[in-house]
Chain A
Amino acid sequence: MPRWGMVFDLKKCCGCQTCFISCKIENFLPAGMYWNHVYDYETGEYPHVKRNFLPTVCMHCDEPGCLEVCPTGATIKREDGIVYVDYDKCIGCRYCMMACPYKARYFNDKIKNYYPGNITVYEAFPKELRAEFQRHEPGIVSKCTFCMHRVDRGLSLNLIPGIDPEATPACVVNCPAQARYFGDLDDPESEVAQLISKRSGYQLQKHLGADPSVYYLK
């Protein structure tokens, strides 16, 4: 069984936010909801200032704190390492948000339209045609799913996630700088495993012991 993971090359990320937008489009995220961030921040002091970008998604940890604390079993970890929320089971207690050190979860108090009074074609897309986790509703917590609908559909068509675009998360496919990689962390021959090995990929907040499936390259 693979363990899906993502690698962000910080040297390549130019902070264009294409991943952010493509995630919103792919997953029908309503206004005010973000599963994909590129934080833009400065380090150093004038005249030695550096502008940095830090892309983040749900880290799909191997030992997810959110899974343990969820009182209803709404947070589920699949055998391939993808962690997702079953919207029908979530009660909106937000304990998972406390337990997530990456602030990767979002509570939808109410679903907002992008343009008050108008519903775009994108927002009007029928819910029954969307994947389950794309049917957003108020009062529950949601998060990045590594586009598991694309991964699953791709695998059913004998495609390889991380190589075939149709089987790869939208943010990875659409990144114009090719700063994102997706693949099987447990396969030493995969591109992600090779990058982590050769370029000393590291995890955020490793000391917390969650063992995230997202790695960063300096």
Chain B
Amino acid sequence: MRENKSLTGRIDWFLVLLLVLLISFGLATLYSVAYNAEHPSIFDLSQLYGKQIMWLGISLFVGFIVYLIDSDIYKKFALPIYGFVLFLLVVVLFMPPVNGARAWLGIGPLGIQPAEFAKIAAALVLAKFISTVSLKTQNTRLVLIAFSIILGPMFLILLQPDAGTFVVFTSFLFVMYREGITFDPLILNVVNSFPNVKFKQTWVGTHFIPILFVVIILAIMTILSSRVFVVFPFLSSIEISGFIFILVALSVVGFFAFFLVQQFGSKRERSNTTFAVLLGYGLSLSVILTVHFGFSSLAPHQKERIEFFLGMREDPDGEDYNRNRAMAAVGSGGFSGKGYQNASVSSVRSNHVPESETDFIFCPFAEEWGFLGSLVLIVLYITILIRIIFIAERQRSVFNRVYAYCVAMIVFYHVGINIGMNIGFAPVIGIPLPFFSYGGSSMLSFTIMMFILLKLDSQRMDVLR
């Protein structure tokens, strides 16, 4: 039943276009940040930009081969690939450490990080697992198997140690959530062990992951606002504390949601949605109040640690060196930036922001292009993410959908944490900005990840429903 259409016939050109745009931005930024007047050619292999172009070439070549392979292979060989990567993750632990972590296989310019590829392998196996089991009846065993798929590589990666990639693996929780694998069976086991309690389902258990996410976001917002005073434009005489501002903002959002539900919600669901809005509002409010008063009552040194963590405190030459300089670079960009090749704080030559070509590459971009550029980049990433989710949702096979969601969530985590650590929203754990940061493994693994996605998507019609 295979249609012999041309190889490119069903490729998602929109996603390709977005990725090409992103890679161009990345190369331009790398060329600016690492510019060496003695080696101005962008193809000069002695320079970071030359090397990155070489890696891009290698990645595209490998990606092209990947694209030639029939998509069935991935489902069939998911487990062997996974096993091979696990093996590599063990091997890498016996390698000499680089910068304190045993993450590199091979040496010199051709070294690779198996952890980058473990993400793809885990995605494939998770997709295969979820596509082969029936999710109609959730049970503890199923949930535990799903968890152990990601916990295996996570454990090995923690031994390296590589905190960044470790955290990225939790992105698979969102994929499981989408597919209906939740913490609920585990929680039910606990809850139902009490006498006379017999739940079929707990709301918290089912929506545990998004709730956790909301709580984390709200907590960070609350702490960040604790030392901020909001001054309204044109009304400079009115100054309110950030805490009050957050409460007011939350209430406004709550009332607005309530109003929307009352006006436009379908009658059948009105009472349910009203309840959900009220519950959400109440939960958010209690999280904010708890975090605010909890934070205020902390001992000063504990408070200090959290504030350092979130970049609210200046310890310019201490352990917060990287973040302080990164935030100075981003913050000094202004509305429209300092101009191309004018990143005074974050260029590689000035060396104020270590790793400004890899983990902190958002810095020079934001410094040179200002708020406008940063906004464009964020919109570009969000568009890519939504496009991948759109692709995921149009798949006929569960395998394809789960894999696509895995790609989306991995990229989401990378973008969220990477940009977050440049703006004081996330801790400094070294993970690259996809298609932007300098680095062979990252470029290669994200390219392969995308080509697999494009291939699966191009053959989606071949799958019988």
A interacts with B: no
A interface, CB within 8 angstroms of B: none
B interface, CB within 8 angstroms of A: none
